[in-house]
């Protein structure tokens, strides 16, 4: 029987929760540089080529790794919008909106292949990095989209005792949602607009802001709402 969310019925204009983790739940990000490289690859695929050429991070040299892939010739900024993301030590979450039926398939193939090549060269390893094929779930309700972004942005809470440190976690899009960062390749407005429109249906005045909505997160509550849209 196929694994949950491995059968993908992609639709034009669809929004998807895409996620995967390391094989045998091993770490896929070993240090800050690994996180930075993954985000750099995301950026290179998701901003216009002319802006990419002006905003390239310094060439990263680690052992045999000479440079990151040049994504400008295979840029997908017209086909993919990144609404939300979070990178954790052994897994990643993305919420993606695609323009065509095949956009996400091609985007994830390029992203993961580029990162696997970098990771294996740097850490002197061979073979697969991720636990099989990535998972993708269609998000077909606005309320699911909002709660899913909450679940994803709340992921790093387990890493911090101090709530201020959680808010400053730089390997998720939460900073863009709080207005403390403005990455051109992240599009929080789609979800923030839904929040403004629907917050009255989310439990009342206690959800006076998106920040409050995320930081009053309850794992049990989100599991009941999201069910098969979250990482097993």
Residue 214, domain member (yes or no):
yes
Q: In CATH, what number is assigned to the domain containing residue 105?
A: 3.30.70.1290
**What radius of gyration, in Å, describes the C-alpha atoms of the chain?**
17
pLDDT at 43: 93
Task: Tell me the per-residue pLDDT of 31-42, one tens digit each, with 9 for 90 and over.
Answer: 999 999 999 999
Q: pLDDT digit string (tens) for 181-209?
A: 999 999 999 899 877 775 555 555 556 78
Residue 120 lies in a domain: yes
CB 170 within 8 A of CB 39: no
The answer to whether residue 6 sits within a structural domain is no
Please report whether residue 159 resides in a domain. Answer: yes
Q: Is residue 9 part of a domain?
A: no
Per residue in 98-146, pLDDT (tens digit) is 999 989 999 999 999 999 999 999 999 999 999 989 999 999 888 889 9
| Sequence-distant (≥ 6) Cβ neighbours of residue 10 within 8 angstroms | 16, 98, 101, 102, 104, 105, 136
In a domain, 232, yes or no: no
pTM for this model (two decimals): 0.86
Structural domains counted in the chain = 1
Q: Is residue 174 part of a domain?
A: yes
Q: Which domain does 115 fall in, by range? A: 15-226
What value, to the nearest 5°, has the Cα angle with vertex 101 and ends 4 and 114? Answer: 75
145, part of any domain:
yes
């Amino acid at each position: 029987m196929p694994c949950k969310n491995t059968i993908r019925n992609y639709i034009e204009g669809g929004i998807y929760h895409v996620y995967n983790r390391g094989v045998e739940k091993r770490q896929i990000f070993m240090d800050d540089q690994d996180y930075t490289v993954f985000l750099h690859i995301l950026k290179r695929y998701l901003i216009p080529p002319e802006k990419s050429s002006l905003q390239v991070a310094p060439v990263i040299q680690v052992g045999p790794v000479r440079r990151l892939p040049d994504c400008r010739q295979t840029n997908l900024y017209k086909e993919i919008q990144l609404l939300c993301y979070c990178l954790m030590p052994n897994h990643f979450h993305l919420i993606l909106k695609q323009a065509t039926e095949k956009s996400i398939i091609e985007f994830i193939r390029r992203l993961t292949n580029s990162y696997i090549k970098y990771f294996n060269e740097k850490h002197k390893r061979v073979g697969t990095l991720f636990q099989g094929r990535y998972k993708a779930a269609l998000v077909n309700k606005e309320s699911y989209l909002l709660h899913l972004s909450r679940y994803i942005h709340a992921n790093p809470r387990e890493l911090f005792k101090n709530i201020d440190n959680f808010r400053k976690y730089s390997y998720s899009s939460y900073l863009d949602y709080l207005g403390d960062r403005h990455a051109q390749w992240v599009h929080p407005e789609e979800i923030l607009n839904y929040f403004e429109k629907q917050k009255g249906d989310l439990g009342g005045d206690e959800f006076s802001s998106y920040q409050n909505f995320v930081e009053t997160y309850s794992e049990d509550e989100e599991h009941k709402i999201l069910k098969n849209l979250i990482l097993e």
